[in-house]
């Protein structure tokens, strides 16, 4: 009888673990769909000019984040719904990207500081959009590590907001970053 109880307990634990693993697997698929990565190195010294990742915070992405967060912290349905609403309202109706950025020069590594000379733009529907806000975030928050596993220990993270409705579902869009010496383009080709 003890053996049967033991196996039932093990089966219960494994099924709950596999359920959470399935959520993480689904999250990774959605993260891959809405994220892009690029690296650019200076030709004269091979130092990193740009290493960056960006995730478009689409409705699908935010819903997946709320689901992952709820599973991670064992939230009930009402708490999960509240988390999803918090994530949605944090966009304030804008088109928002989470960006992890690294430049080997600490004197020029801040996207939010105009003196560092970086320009970040969103190209969509034949238009070029300037950010309405570039918010530098605190490093290594548990939520950021959970949602964006690509963050490097030496990178700086940002929320970059563009005007509302800058992106139309099903149409190609591009996020560009550049300064006087380098540039990079992340392209989402007609995501649904």
Q: Give the range of the structural domain holding residue 159, as residue numbers without chain letter.
A: 2-188
Average pLDDT over residues 147-161: 93
Note the pLDDT tens digit of each residue in 67-78: 998 998 888 888
Domains: count for the chain: 1
Q: Could you tell me the pLDDT band of residue 10, with boundaries at 50, 70 and 90?
A: very low
* Stated pTM of the model: 0.83
- CB-CB contact of 10 with 34 (8 Å): no
Candidates 54, 62, 52; CA nearest to 30 is: 62
Euclidean distance between CA atoms 109 and 102, whole angstroms: 7
Report the largest interatomic distance among the alpha carbons of the chain, rounded to a whole angstrom. Answer: 73
72: DSSP letter: H
Q: What is the CATH number of the domain that holds 31?
A: 2.60.40.10
Q: Could you tell me the pLDDT band of residue 2, with boundaries at 50, 70 and 90?
A: low
């Amino acid at each position: 009888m003890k053996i049967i109880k033991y196996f039932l307990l093990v089966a219960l634990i494994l099924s709950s673990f596999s359920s959470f693993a399935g959520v993480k697997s689904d999250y990774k698929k959605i993260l891959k769909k809405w994220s892009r990565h690029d690296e650019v190195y200076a030709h004269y010294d091979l130092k990193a000019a740009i290493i960056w990742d960006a995730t478009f915070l689409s409705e699908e992405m935010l819903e997946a984040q709320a689901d992952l967060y709820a599973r991670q912290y064992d939230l009930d349905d009402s708490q999960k719904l509240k988390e999803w609403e918090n994530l949605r309202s944090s966009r304030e109706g804008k088109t928002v990207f989470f960006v992890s950025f690294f430049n080997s020069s600490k004197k020029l590594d801040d996207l939010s500081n105009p003196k560092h000379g970086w320009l970040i733009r969103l190209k969509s529907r034949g238009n070029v959009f300037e950010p309405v806000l570039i918010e530098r975030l605190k490093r290594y928050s548990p939520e950021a590590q959970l949602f964006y596993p690509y963050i490097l220990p030496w990178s700086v993270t940002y929320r970059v907001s563009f005007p509302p409705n800058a992106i139309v579902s099903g149409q190609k869009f591009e996020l560009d970053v550049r300064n006087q010496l380098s540039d990079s383009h992340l392209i989402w080709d007609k995501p649904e």
